Each structure stands twice: as C-alpha cells, then as structure tokens.
C-alpha cells in the first residue's frame, strides 16, 4: 500500500535560517513518482518538483534543494536562507502510474512559519 | 494560458441537500482529478477522469460521484450531504498521458455543510 509520512507537523524558523522538511514514503512498486507541493494561505497547491524512482540525483533550484534516497525511502526538501514568503504548508506526495492513473497520495503536510 | 478554474469558490449547504461542483482544466489537459482536503484527514483522492472515463476512484462512499464532458470539464456531485463533507474540494488537471507529470491545481471550492 502507498503511504507518505511527514512527521513534522509544524516548523517555525527565523528568516535566513535553513530548514529541512522530511518525507518518508512506502510503496511496493519499483516505478513511482514523488512530488512536493506548496500550499500558501491562499489555498491553491503549487507544484515544486517531480522525481521518478530511477533518478536519485539530488536537485537544486535556487534556494530549494531535494535529497532523494531510495535506501531510506526518503525525499527530503531543504530551503536555504528561508524567507517570510516561504511560509506555507508543504506536501510530499507519491504516485504509482498503474493503469495510467495519476492519483496522488499525499502526506499530512508540514506547516512552515518563517518569522522576520 | 489560463489556469484551472473551479466554481463556485464558496458554498454553504444544509445536511441532506446535494451539491455540484465544477472544474475547468487547463486547455489541452485531458485528465482531471478531484481531492478532498480536511484538517483531520488531509488531502484525499476522490477520483480521476480521463477522456470522459473514470480512470481511478478513491475510498469514498457512493454519495460522491463525478463526470467529465467532451471538452474535459468535470463536475463532481455529493448527494445527501453530511456535516463531515465540509471541506475544501480541489480539482487538478494534467495532460493525462499516463506518466504522472505535475498536476495543476485550482483554487478549490470551500463547502460548508450546516
């Protein structure tokens, strides 16, 4: 069964601190996709990154970086030099493309508050 | 390119009533998925439609149904509303090629059942 666990419910940091959001997943498939989404107070989910199970290369995009480790079934997200605008709820999600379906299984989310 | 639109944005209904929510995907996208978001259960998958066919369904009672039209617009219906159906309902669209590309989410419809 698919499952995504985000153990950190809430994190509070001061601006310019680095912060890492943890994501652990469970799946029986060898082919799967992992995602991170951001949900600002406005409510609309914003796509951040997609990673497939065959690509363990870490990725950096500006202040954002992602660490994918299949050995520990983790896909962690780090924000460097956090800013107030990073305050949002962040969701990790898993998709197994069975039968062509693009169903996403989400973690419970981590609420990040960046204080000035 | 216009994003995913959902109507209405807010809705207040009474227990026992039914409700229909609408979603217009990004032009060219053929897959539409629906999710329910509540504080207790988080984001849960309701169903996915592709080319007017339901491609997958989540673990929700039969009171929840949906459909997709030939122009890829989708509607979901909830009959015999219960207090627990109060939630943010999010619609997402994607090209639908079968490889899970990023899904683009709409702003959601906030449903309150009293």
Tell the residue number behind the tokens 């601006």, with chain if given. A15
Contact B107 A43 (CB under 8 A): yes
And the tokens for A116? 């000035």
pLDDT in tens, B69-90: 999 999 999 999 999 999 999 9
- CB contacts < 8 A (A, B): 68
A61 CB within 8 Å of a chain B CB: no
In whole angstroms, what is the distance from residue A98 CA to residue A58 CA? Answer: 25
**Residue B47 burial by Cβ neighbours in a 10 Å radius (0-12, 13-18, 19+):** buried
pLDDT band at residue A116 using 50, 70 and 90 as cut-offs: very high
Q: Is there a contact between B70 and B55 (Cβ–Cβ < 8 Å)?
A: no
Nearest beta carbon to residue A101 from set B42, B43, B55: B55
Model pLDDT, residue B50: 92
In whole angstroms, what is the distance from residue B87 CA to residue B99 CA? Answer: 29
Q: Which chain A residue's Cα is nearest to B103?
A: A47
Model pLDDT, residue A55: 86
Strands B109-113 and B10-13: parallel
pLDDT in tens, A21-70: 999 999 998 889 999 999 998 888 999 999 999 888 888 889 999 999 99
Shortest alpha-carbon distance between residue B10 and chain A (Å)? 13
pLDDT in tens, B24-83: 999 999 999 999 999 999 999 999 999 999 999 999 999 999 999 999 999 999 999 999
Shortest alpha-carbon distance between residue B37 and chain A (Å)? 10
- Which has the closest alpha carbon to A102: B69, B75, B74, B94? B94
């Amino acid at each position: 069964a698919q499952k995504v666990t985000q153990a950190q419910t809430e994190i509070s940091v001061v601006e310019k601190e680095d912060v890492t959001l943890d994501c652990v997943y469970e799946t029986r498939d060898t082919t799967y996709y992992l995602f991170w989404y951001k949900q600002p107070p406005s409510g609309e989910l914003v796509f951040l990154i997609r990673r497939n199970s065959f690509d363990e290369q870490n990725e950096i995009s500006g202040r954002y970086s992602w660490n994918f480790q299949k050995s520990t079934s983790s896909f962690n997200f780090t924000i460097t030099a956090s800013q107030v605008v990073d305050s949002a709820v962040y969701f990790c999600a898993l998709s197994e493309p069975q039968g062509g379906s693009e169903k996403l299984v989400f973690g419970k989310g981590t609420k990040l508050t960046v204080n000035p | 390119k216009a994003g995913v639109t959902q109507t209405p944005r807010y809705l207040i209904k009474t227990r026992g009533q039914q409700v229909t929510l609408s979603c217009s995907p990004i032009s060219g996208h053929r897959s539409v998925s629906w999710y329910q978001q509540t504080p207790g259960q988080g984001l849960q998958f309701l169903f996915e439609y592709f080319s007017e066919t339901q491609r997958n369904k989540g673990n929700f009672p039969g009171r929840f149904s949906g459909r997709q039209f030939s122009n890829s617009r989708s509607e979901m219906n909830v009959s015999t509303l219960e207090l627990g159906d109060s939630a943010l309902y999010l619609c997402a669209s994607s090209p639908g090629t079968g490889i899970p590309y990023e899904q683009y989410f709409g702003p959601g419809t906030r449903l309150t059942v009293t």
